[in-house]
């Protein structure tokens, strides 16, 4: 405990020590003001009109237990107090928020000399942003979509080559011979089921690569590829899965009608049920890998490409033609067309099959924009491929031949997809599914009846 004559204005006097109050070094005569109050609480002798001084219990707020708004002691509670019990705004240093202010070290004077706050790597899109423009953040530059696309292709191809190398080594270790890699029908394991698994896995590796490109190049959360909520909305995904099951039923019916409407076609006698023994193992591989393969294609063509093109709105173009085209490029249609064209180029169909695949890509992209996320497109793609590969496995032909497609088959494919997209958009409105990013500038969505949204 300090002596009464040793107080320097910072240490409190002893509570029970009689004698004079310590001198205030800032007072002209060295004496404390008449309304000085004991730092440990109210004293009966000091309950006068000056006891509730507006600047706290110590009018100069310099005692270690001072409680005024401008107090600077370690237990101060003013709005600018930096101490562990302060009530002021938290002080952020380069090492986080320490209990003593900046950087975890005592800073008795609070905000003076505060360090700059380190900016996070990922940047969120502005509130009220539609799905196709979510890559247009405040750090967007014209070169980021191009560099990100090259990164996606380069890293993806490296991953595919690595997967093929591992598969080749495994095949060589099992069979003792190097696989034949020549010709159009090159195989690795000389087993239809194993080769199908490798082909599906080579497409599935692009899923993490697309997420990486969004984070590393465009400096945004990978979940912004999924939806405007920054993640996959699983409740809405379950609704879309139910719609996709109905889509499979309708698609199976329209395919039967297409077969009946094509005169001059004869049933292929080789397409017969192979039996459960030869069906279960290929179907298990299909069920396990097709969801990842189809999801990866959606993240690349309806996620990355749609948002990469949508980020180039041309609204700040220096040229008049660029500003004129910005009216179109602010819409999702350039991204829908470009993404669908590239998606079609990745398949080997000809004739009406080209229109069939392009329509699939365009419908999936349209429903993605109108529902604010990839959930509906993923459900449609996964169940469409499960139906196609499942039928091939049932007849023992896992290698789906791509080529010319009659117009009747094209119509039979497109009609169920249109019905699925219309139903998904209608349900999204009814359930209040968000189609733009949330934030202060965006009002919460409501259902058609005026109720708050229940689906994020």
Backbone φ and ψ for 405, nearest 5 degrees, come out as -125, 125
Residue 239 makes CB contacts below 8 A (sequence gap 6+) with 427, 431, 455
Counting residues of the chain whose pLDDT is more than 90, the rounded percentage is: 55
Q: Is the pLDDT of residue 412 over 80?
A: yes
- Distance, in Å, from the CA atom of 217 to the CA atom of 312, rounded to the nearest integer, reads 15
Stated pTM of the model: 0.72
What digits encode the pLDDT tens for the residues 419-440? 999 999 999 999 999 999 998 5
C-beta of residue 357 within 8 angstroms of C-beta of residue 384: no
Q: Which residues partner with 96 through β-bridges?
A: 93
The residue assigned the tokens 């669908």 is: 340
Going by pLDDT thresholds of 50, 70 and 90, the confidence category of residue 143 is: very high
* Higher per-residue confidence, 192 vs 183: 192
Going by pLDDT thresholds of 50, 70 and 90, the confidence category of residue 118 is: confident
Residue 309 makes CB contacts below 8 A (sequence gap 6+) with 132, 145, 329, 334, 335, 338, 339
Helix (H, G, I), strand (E, B) or coil at 18: coil
Q: Please tell me the predicted confidence (pLDDT) of residue 41.
A: 43
Q: Please tell me the predicted confidence (pLDDT) of residue 451.
A: 43
Average confidence (pLDDT) over 283-292: 97
State the DSSP H helix or E strand holding residue 265, giving kind and residue range, or none if neither.
none
- Distance, in Å, from the CA atom of 133 to the CA atom of 313, rounded to the nearest integer, reads 8
- Distance, in Å, from the CA atom of 26 to the CA atom of 32, rounded to the nearest integer, reads 9
C-alpha to C-alpha distances, 372 to 129, 209, 233, nearest whole angstrom: 10, 22, 10
* Higher per-residue confidence, 159 vs 322: 159
Q: Is the pLDDT of residue 119 over 60?
A: yes
Q: Is the pLDDT of residue 48 over 50?
A: no
Q: Please tell me the predicted confidence (pLDDT) of residue 101.
A: 44
Backbone φ and ψ for 256, nearest 5 degrees, come out as -65, -40
Helix (H, G, I), strand (E, B) or coil at 375: helix
C-beta of residue 189 within 8 angstroms of C-beta of residue 398: no
Q: Is the pLDDT of residue 383 over 90?
A: yes
Q: Please tell me the predicted confidence (pLDDT) of residue 265.
A: 52
Q: Is the pLDDT of residue 251 over 60?
A: yes
* Higher per-residue confidence, 300 vs 188: 300
C-beta of residue 329 within 8 angstroms of C-beta of residue 313: yes
Average confidence (pLDDT) over 363-388: 97
Residue 362's closest CA among 330, 339, 378?
339
* Higher per-residue confidence, 399 vs 7: 399
* Higher per-residue confidence, 27 vs 291: 291
| Least confident interval from 105-109, 400-404, 444-448 | 444-448
Q: Please tell me the predicted confidence (pLDDT) of residue 23.
A: 52
Residue 317's closest CA among 306, 327, 309, 331?
327
Q: Please tell me the predicted confidence (pLDDT) of residue 25.
A: 52
Going by pLDDT thresholds of 50, 70 and 90, the confidence category of residue 94 is: very low
The alpha carbon of residue 109 and the mean position of all alpha carbons in its chain are separated, in whole angstroms, by: 40
The alpha carbon of residue 280 and the mean position of all alpha carbons in its chain are separated, in whole angstroms, by: 36
Backbone φ and ψ for 426, nearest 5 degrees, come out as -65, -45
Going by pLDDT thresholds of 50, 70 and 90, the confidence category of residue 16 is: very low
Mean of per-residue pLDDT scores for the chain: 79
């Amino acid at each position: 405990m300090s002596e009464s004559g040793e107080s320097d204005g910072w240490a409190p006097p002893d509570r029970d020590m009689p004698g004079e109050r310590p001198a205030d070094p800032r007072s002209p005569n060295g004496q404390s003001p008449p309304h000085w109050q004991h730092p440990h609480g109210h004293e009966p002798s000091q309950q006068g009109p000056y006891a509730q001084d507006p600047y706290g219990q110590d009018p100069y707020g310099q005692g270690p237990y001072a409680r005024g708004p401008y107090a600077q002691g370690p237990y101060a509670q003013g709005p600018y107090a930096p101490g562990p019990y302060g009530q002021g705004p938290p002080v952020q240093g380069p090492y986080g928020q320490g209990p003593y202010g900046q950087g975890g070290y005592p800073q008795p004077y609070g905000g003076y000399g505060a360090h700059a706050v380190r900016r996070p790597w990922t940047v969120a899109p502005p509130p009220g942003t539609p799905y196709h423009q979510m890559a247009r953040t405040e750090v967007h530059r014209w070169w980021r979509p191009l560099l990100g696309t090259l990164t996606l292709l380069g890293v993806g191809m490296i991953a595919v080559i690595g997967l093929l190398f591992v598969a080749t080594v495994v095949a060589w270790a099992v069979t003792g011979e190097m696989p034949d890699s020549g010709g159009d029908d090159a195989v690795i394991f000389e087993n239809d089921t194993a080769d199908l698994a490798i082909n599906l896995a080579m497409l599935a590796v692009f899923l993490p690569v697309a997420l990486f490109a969004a984070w590393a190049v465009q400096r945004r959360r990978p979940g912004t590829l999924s939806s405007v909520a920054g993640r996959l909305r699983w409740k809405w995904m379950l609704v879309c899965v139910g719609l996709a099951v109905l889509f499979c039923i309708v698609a199976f019916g329209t395919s039967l009608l297409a077969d009946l409407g094509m005169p001059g076609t004869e049933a292929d006698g080789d397409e017969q049920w192979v039996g459960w023994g030869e069906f279960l193992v290929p179907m298990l591989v299909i069920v396990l890998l097709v969801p990842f393969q189809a999801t990866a294609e959606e993240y690349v063509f309806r996620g990355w490409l749609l948002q990469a093109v949508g980020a180039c709105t041309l609204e700040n173009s220096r040229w008049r033609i660029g500003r004129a085209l910005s009216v179109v490029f602010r819409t999702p249609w350039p991204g829908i067309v470009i993404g669908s064209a590239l998606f079609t180029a990745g398949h080997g169909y000809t004739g009406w099959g080209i229109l069939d695949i392009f329509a699939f890509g365009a419908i999936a992209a349209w429903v993605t924009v109108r529902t604010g996320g990839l959930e509906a497109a993923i459900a449609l793609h996964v169940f469409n491929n499960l139906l196609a590969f499942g039928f091939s496995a049932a007849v023992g032909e896992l290698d789906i031949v791509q080529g010319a497609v009659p117009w009747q088959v094209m119509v039979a494919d497109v009609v169920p997809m249109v019905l699925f997209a219309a139903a998904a958009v209608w349900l999204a409105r009814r359930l209040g599914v968000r189609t733009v990013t949330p934030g202060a500038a965006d009002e919460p969505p409501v259902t058609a009846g005026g109720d708050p949204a229940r689906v994020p």
